[in-house]
Amino acid sequence: MKKVSVSSLLAQKQAAQKITALTAYDASFAKLFDEQGIDILLIGDSLGMVLQGEESTLPVTIEQMAYHTRCVSKNVQHAFVMADMPFMSYATPEQAYANAAKLMAAGAQMVKLEGGEWLLETIHGLVQRSVPVCGHLGLTPQSVNVLGGFKVQGREAAKAQQLVADALALEQAGVQLLVLECVPTSLAQKVSQQLSIPVIGIGAGVHTDGQILVMHDMLGISANYMPKFSKNYLLECGDIRQAVSQYKDDVISGQFPSSAHSFE
């Protein structure tokens, strides 16, 4: 298998070939997911919740993200490696440049930032400095206290319109990938159709260009609860490798997510 790149991900969108993604936090699982042909591995700041037992992603530090990025990138031959910029690590453009450099030096091929219009200058500056960027709209976990909890976003007409506008603005600023989290299926479909870059969904319905799940949710081992948008593939398959393979096949065939794992 060839190494996945920004160019190959764009080619997948253009060819209507679904993109598969999972979070990963260590070398062993990263190697397993890589061998099963998962396209993107995200070192998510979700590690605060699934590894550290925190109630949110907010306590995660850039040093912790760099450590786990280095662990994941060691054993990856095929997959595209992306890392989250944690809470308040990109409050200013200059801060974002310094912290993105730490993640890229640790082995990331792209960094992911949460937010819309306020990030445009930062994104433009990162791209100018040769740092590929993934945007993240909809439910942005770092804003959980502002949003009032982990809630579906974009159901009201004005907020849906703003999300579309933010997505287009992020693309114009230079993001090469976009994650949409917990938004209605129809809204995610509209964004995916209007953007030329790949759109990866989590709780965003089946019409995005690809899907991502937190690995602990996909394997049914999360400490807290199973989100509506996830599926316990390990329970269904009984073997981790088979579970990953089935998840990949279901995303590619369009069987996952079903309406039971989506929001209207």
Instruction: Express each pLDDT in 138-153 by its tens digit.
Output: 999 999 888 777 789 9
Structural domain boundaries, residue 37: 6-261
- pLDDT number for residue 147: 77
Q: What is the pTM of this model?
A: 0.96
In a domain, 14, yes or no: yes
Tell me whether residue 158 is in a domain: yes
Is the residue at 90 inside a domain?
yes
Query: Which pLDDT does position 223 carry in this prediction?
Result: 65
- Residue 1 domain-assigned (yes or no): no
Q: For residue 236, indicate whether it is catalytic.
A: no
How many structural domains is the chain composed of?
A: 1
> Does 101 score more than 80 pLDDT?
yes
Provide the residue type at 121 as one letter: E
Type of residue numbered 187: L
Residues of each annotated binding site for Mg(2+)? 45, 84, 114
Inside any domain, residue 237: yes
Asked if 19 and 208 touch (Cβ cutoff 8 Å), the reply is: no
Rounded Cα distance, 41 and 31, in Å: 10
Q: What is the mean pLDDT of the chain?
A: 96
Residue-wise pLDDT for 19-63, tens only, equals: 999 999 999 999 999 999 999 999 999 999 999 999 999 999 999
55: CB partners within 8 A, 6+ apart? 49
Residue 204 lies in a domain: yes
Residue numbers belonging to the annotated binding site: 45-46, 84, 112, 114
Q: What is the CATH number of the domain that holds 152?
A: 3.20.20.60
% pLDDT > 90, the chain: 91
Predicted confidence at residue 145, as pLDDT, reads 81
Q: Out of 94, 117, 156, 181, pick the active-site residue.
A: 181
Q: Is 22 inside any structural domain?
A: yes
* Residues in the annotated binding site for 3-methyl-2-oxobutanoate: 45-46, 84, 112
148 inside domain: yes
